[in-house]
Structure 1
C-alpha cells in the first residue's frame, strides 16, 4: 500500500509536465521565443518551481516542444503524399504548412533560425527534406509544377506566410492565405513559361540564411 502515493505523484508530475508543455506551445505561438519560463508558469497556472523542476533551462523546454512541431510538419507531408493527384497533394501541404508558420511564431523562430534550433534544425531537415523532395519531384514529373521549383522553396513559402501574419495578422488574421494562393498560382506549370531569374537556395545557402537570422528574444 505504501507505493500508491508514489504512483499518484508520478501521475501528477506527468500531468504537470504536459500542462507546462501545452502552455509553452501556446505562449510561444503568440509571443515567440522571447517568452520566459516565468511567463510559461503563469500561463500554465502553476508555480515557477514546478516549471523549473520539469525543465531546468529554457533550452530543455524548447527541445521538448520542438519535436512535436517537427512531427506535425512531417505528418502533413506524409498525408500530402497519399493524395492521388500530385498537384492537389502539393497544394494541400503548402496550405497546411503555411497555416502552421502563420499562426505559430515560436515554431517559425525555432525552425528558421539557428539562434534557438541549433542541431535540432539539422536533424529536422534530415527528416523533412526527403518528404518535401518527393512532393516536389512528383508534381514536377506530372507536369503540374513549374520545372524550376525546388524543395528548398517550400519552407521559404512558409516563412513568407509567417511574415505576412506577423505584419498584418492583427488587422486580418487570414491575410496570409491570399498571398499563399497567389504564390501557388505562380508555381503552376504553363506553356511558354520563362525560367525564374534567381535560383532557389541550395542547402549550404539555407544554412547561412538560418545562421544570419536572429529573432527577438
Structure 2
C-alpha cells in the first residue's frame, strides 16, 4: 500500500471539514446564494477542491443542512407528542421559525426544494406528513381554523424568512411578534396568543435603513426619523 495513502485521505477529510465549516458560515451570513468560490476562499482551499468534495451546490447544501433538517422533522414528532393539540401546533411553529431566525441559510432551505438532494427531501417529506397530522389534531380539538392548510405554513415560513432577513441584528426579536400575530390569525376566534413586546421605533428605523436600496452606499431618508 502506498505509504502516503492514509495521510492523503486524512488531508482530504480535513479539506472536506473546512469546506463544510466555511459553507455553514457563509450560508448563515449570506443565505444559500453564497457562491462556491466565496466558500472556497473562506475555507482556504481551491475551487477545484470544493467541487471534488461536492460536485454540485445541492450536494453541499444537503451536507451542510442534513442535521438541521433532521431537527426540523423531529420538531413535528415532539409537537405530535404534546397532549395539548394547540400547544403542540403553536410550539412547533415557534420552534421552526426560531430555527429560521438562528440561521439565514436554513431559513431559505425551508422554503425551497432541492430535487437532487434526496436525503434532504426525504426529511422534508417526513416533516410535511407530520405537519398534516398536527393540523388535523388542532382542528379536531376546535382550536385551529378549519380553513388552514399546509401551504399556509409555507407562506408563514416565507414571510418569517423575510422578516428575519430585513430586521437582522437591528431588531433580532421582531420575528417573534410576527409569529405571534400569525398564530392569532390561525386560532379559532383569535385565541389567546401572547405577543412579545414590539420592536422599538429606533430599532425598526435601523432595520429599515439596513433593508433599503442604497445610493452611493447610503440609504436616503424621505421622512423624519422616529424618536430614539
Q: In which range does the TM-score fall when normalised by the shorter chain?
A: 0.7 to 0.9
Distance 1:147 1:21, change over 3 A: same
Partner deviation per Cα, 1:121-168 (whole Å, 9 max, x = no partner): 865553222110111111111222222222222222111111111122
Structure 2 vs 1, CA of residues 46 and 23 (structure 1 numbering), >3 Å: closer, same or farther?
same
Partner residue in 1 for 2:95: 96
Q: CA deviation at 1:49?
A: 4.0
Superposition deviation, residue 178 in structure 1: 0.7
Alignment of structure 1 residues 1-217 onto 2, 5 Å: 6-113=5-112, 117-118=114-115, 120=117, 123=122, 125-190=124-189
Q: Is the 8 A contact 1:102 1:164 kept in 2?
A: no
Between the aligned partners of 1:109 and 1:139, the Cα distance in structure 2 is 27
Aligned residues: 188
2:150 is paired with a residue of what secondary structure?
A: coil
Unaligned runs of 5+ in 1: 192-217
Report deviation, 1:10: 2.7
Q: Secondary structure at the match of 1:147?
A: coil
CA RMSD of aligned residues (A): 2.7
Q: Distance in 2 between matches of 1:81 and 1:128?
A: 11
Partner of 2:218: none
Instruction: Between the two structures, name the one with larger relative contact order (CA 8 Å, sep ≥ 6).
Output: 1
Report deviation, 1:180: 0.3
TM-score by length of 2: 0.70
For the pair shown, the structure with the greater C-alpha radius of gyration is 2
Query: Alpha-carbon deviations, 1:150-201, whole Å to 9, x = none?
Result: 222222211111111112224211111111011112222239xxxxxxxxxx
Q: Distance in 2 between matches of 1:171 and 1:52?
A: 36
CA displacement 1:85-111 (0-9 Å, x = unmatched): 222211111011112223433334344
Cα distance, 1:23–1:189 mapped onto 2, change above 3 Å: same
Greater shift, 31-40 or 128-137, is seen at 31-40
3-state DSSP of counterpart to 1:81: helix
Question: For residue 197 of structure 2, what is the aligned residue in structure 1?
Answer: none
Measured in 1, the distance between the counterparts of 2:25 and 2:79 equals 26
CA distance in 2, matches of 1:15, 1:118: 28
